[in-house]
């Protein structure tokens, strides 16, 4: 029972992997030649189907085909496999670039907000220094001296005018600190919302972690990862088609 069922499982697996490879390849090539995307999609689909038929044909009739035709079909199958791999690479790299661009754009927006917040923090620091200065000045009020004309004695007193001025400036500094704290809190919420809404950064999180661990750029990590997928994807589909032919020939031939 297992021997009878296995060829069908292999065939379904081959068709599923091949279908995925065809979809990604056709989509990638149609995006590459966006000016004639429909025509390119039709052409690529026909070539992908022909590639699977060619792989089966080569396995089934290898001994019966003459050397020239065998060489051509083998070369065509390999070239089509490379084209498919290129289309898959283009599709996946395009998807990564789109995600990376969105993440970078949101990071720039966050950086702008952080820059504005930093300016408010600098103003807040300056206002706190003024508040401290006025507080100390009022706790040790400036003394002025003058000679009373009637008594001709030296009189030491507090300048009420200067005290009122400092009190006014102290209250102004308090109000500025209150408003600056509100502005900083508002920017905290804006930055937090940007970071929470940055789904692209979360999607790229594992890749950034791997890049940081290996000490290389994230673009190189993504490139190596895509190459691994490309080298496995379509070659595996072709191999599964050949294995499916072998399994059917062995069990039902």
For 42-99, write each residue's pLDDT tens digit.
Answer: 887 888 888 888 888 888 888 888 889 889 988 988 888 888 888 888 888 877 887 7
* Minimum mean pLDDT range among 104-108, 155-159, 169-173, 186-190: 155-159
Report the predicted TM-score, pTM, of the whole model to 2 decimal places.
Answer: 0.61
Burial class from Cβ neighbours inside 10 Å (0-12, 13-18, 19+) for residue 169 reads middle
pLDDT (average), residues 230-236: 84
pLDDT at 145: 47
pLDDT at 103: 74
Beta-bridge mates of residue 215: none
Count the neighbouring beta carbons within 10 Å of the beta carbon of residue 74.
15
pLDDT tops 60 at residue 35: yes
pLDDT tops 70 at residue 1: no
Mean pLDDT of the chain: 78
Between CA 129 and CA 173 the distance in angstroms is 9
Between CA 63 and CA 176 the distance in angstroms is 90
Between 3 and 186, the more confident residue is 186
pLDDT tops 50 at residue 21: yes
Between CA 109 and CA 42 the distance in angstroms is 41
For 237-246, write each residue's pLDDT tens digit.
Answer: 888 888 888 8
Between 138 and 113, the more confident residue is 113
Element (H, E) at 156: strand 154-158
Beta-bridge mates of residue 144: 157
Nearest to 117 by CA among 180, 178, 189, 187: 187
On whether the CB atoms of residues 166 and 137 are closer than 8 A, the answer is yes
Residue spans of alpha helices (H) in the chain? 2-32, 37-60, 67-139, 160-197, 199-203, 205-214, 218-252
Residue reference for tokens 């490309």: 230
- C-alpha dist (Å) from residue 49 to 70, 85, 178, 228: 18, 15, 70, 24
pLDDT tops 80 at residue 133: no
Question: At 198, is the pLDDT very low, low, confident or very high (cuts 50, 70, 90)?
Answer: low
Question: At 201, is the pLDDT very low, low, confident or very high (cuts 50, 70, 90)?
Answer: low
The alpha-carbon radius of gyration of the chain (Å, integer) is: 38
Between CA 70 and CA 56 the distance in angstroms is 12
pLDDT tops 50 at residue 227: yes
Between CA 179 and CA 199 the distance in angstroms is 32
* Minimum mean pLDDT range among 13-17, 147-151, 217-221: 147-151
Beta-bridge mates of residue 145: 156
pLDDT (average), residues 111-117: 85
Between 65 and 1, the more confident residue is 65
Beta-bridge mates of residue 146: 155
Question: At 147, is the pLDDT very low, low, confident or very high (cuts 50, 70, 90)?
Answer: very low
SS3 (DSSP) at 101? helix
């Amino acid at each position: 029972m297992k021997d009878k069922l296995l060829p069908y499982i292999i065939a379904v697996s081959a068709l599923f992997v091949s279908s995925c490879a065809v979809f990604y390849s056709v989509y990638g090539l149609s995006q590459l030649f966006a000016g004639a995307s429909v025509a390119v999609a039709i052409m690529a689909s026909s070539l992908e189907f022909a590639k699977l038929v060619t792989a089966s044909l080569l396995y089934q009739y290898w001994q019966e085909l003459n050397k020239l035709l065998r060489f051509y079909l083998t070369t065509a199958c390999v070239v089509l496999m490379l084209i498919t791999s290129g289309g898959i690479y283009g599709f996946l790299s395009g998807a990564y670039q789109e995600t990376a661009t969105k993440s970078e754009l949101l990071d720039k927006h966050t950086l702008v907000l952080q820059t504005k917040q930093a300016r408010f923090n600098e103003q807040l620091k300056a206002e706190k220094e003024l508040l401290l200065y006025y507080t100390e000045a009022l706790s040790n009020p400036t003394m002025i001296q003058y000679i009373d004309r009637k008594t001709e004695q030296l009189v030491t007193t507090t300048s009420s005018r200067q005290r009122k001025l400092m009190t006014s400036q102290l209250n102004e500094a308090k109000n500025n600190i209150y408003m600056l704290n509100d502005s900083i809190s508002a920017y905290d919420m804006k930055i937090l919302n940007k970071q929470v809404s940055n789904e692209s950064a979360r999607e790229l999180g594992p890749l950034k972690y791997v890049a940081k661990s290996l000490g290389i750029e994230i673009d190189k990590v993504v490139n190596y990862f895509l190459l691994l997928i490309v080298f496995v994807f379509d070659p595996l589909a072709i191999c599964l088609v050949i294995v499916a032919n072998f399994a059917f020939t062995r069990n039902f031939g």
